[in-house]
Structure 1
Amino acid sequence: MAHIEIIVGSVLGASEYVADALSEVLQQHGHHCNIHLTPDMPTLRRDAIWLVCSSTHGAGDLPDNIQPWFEQLKSTDLTAQPVMLIGLGDSSYDTYCHGAIKIEQALRDAGAEMLHAPLHIDVLNHPIPEDVAVKWLSHQLDKLG
């Protein structure tokens, strides 16, 4: 089974709840997961699939806890690193999911391989985002090996 590194960017905890729910589903299917609430590039396994789950804060900014990792990301070669991405945002803002969009662009620029198009969850329409994320992940399990 696969090893999954879950990288979390969160301000108010919603992304953490999503990460916990995803980890539970993955473990039920025999995968091994590590959740990183203060991600740091050297601690992430390169032989694992990375599942990034981040909210957007302020005017399209990343949460404080993931910003150092994001800066590391910009100078890291991630050629062929398998990645999946979930972004949480509020569509009443014109910067809806811009945090996840910034992460996606940086991952692509670093050479990461997106296993699926990112999932953007509108918390305005889905106040329990982990339900949407778990449903999405359930359809992706075959890609995890």
Structure 2
Amino acid sequence: MSKTLSIIVGSVLGASEYVAEALEQVAIQAGYQTQVHFSPEFNHIDKSGRWLICTSTHGAGELPENIQPFANEIAKNDLSGINAYIVGLGDSSYDTFCFGAKNMEKRLKDAGATIIAEPLHIDVLNHPIPEDVAVSWFEEQLNS
């Protein structure tokens, strides 16, 4: 049985996309078949494998526009068979730091999904190249 990972990206300026692509390489090296969803549509995402949500926060703590329809579909479905990782990018100078990722975590849990590991919230002020910290974290998760 093959291991699959759906990488679901919420991005405004592209940083989450770079992180998602770096994490995809980690997953491939760990033997996963991957699919990255830059414009995620709920009905096109594999419900039998693991999910990795990689999202930034936009405006006053909202999810990026490209992932909002996907996030809204979560509440309409039973995700009790889904195991997910969450990576959030944010700027700690805002009081809405990583609200996008926190929002996705709540929605997934409320729909019955299991969050596999403590979500990673990357502060871009302290990590100007967020891929580096994300890759280290994800390698640790996949090897534990």
Secondary structure at the aligned position of 1:62 is classed as coil
Distance 1:25 1:104 in 2: 22
Instruction: Tell me the number of residue pairs that the alignment of Structure 1 and Structure 2 aligns.
Output: 143
Distance 2:80 2:25 in 1: 28
**Structure 2 counterparts to residues 96-115 of structure 1, below 5 A:** 96-115=97-116
1:28 partnered with 2:34:
no
1:16 partnered with 2:21:
no
1:66 partnered with 2:67:
yes
Counterpart for residue 91 of structure 1? 92
Counterpart for residue 57 of structure 1? 58
- Which structure 1 segments of 5+ residues have no match? none
Counterpart for residue 131 of structure 1? 132
Q: CA RMSD in A?
A: 0.9
Counterpart for residue 8 of structure 2? 7
TM-score, normalized by length of structure 2? 0.96
1:101 partner amino acid: K
Identity of aligned residues (%): 53
- Which structure 2 segments of 5+ residues have no match? none
Distance 1:12 1:138 in 2: 25
1:119 partner amino acid: L
Distance 1:90 1:50 in 2: 24
Counterpart for residue 140 of structure 1? 141
2:48/2:81 contact within 8 Å kept: no
Give 1:31 deviation, angstroms.
1.1
Counterpart for residue 75 of structure 1? 76
Distance 2:42 2:143 in 1: 26
2:7 partner amino acid: I
Ranges of 4+ aligned residues in structure 1 off by more than 4 Å: none
Distance 1:142 1:25 in 2: 11
Give 1:101 deviation, angstroms.
0.6
Q: Which moved more, 1:122-131 or 1:21-30?
A: 21-30
Distance 2:143 2:129 in 1: 25
Counterpart for residue 38 of structure 2? 37
Secondary structure at the aligned position of 1:3 is classed as strand
1:35 partner amino acid: V
2:47/2:81 contact within 8 Å kept: no
Give 1:75 deviation, angstroms.
1.1
Secondary structure at the aligned position of 2:101 is classed as helix
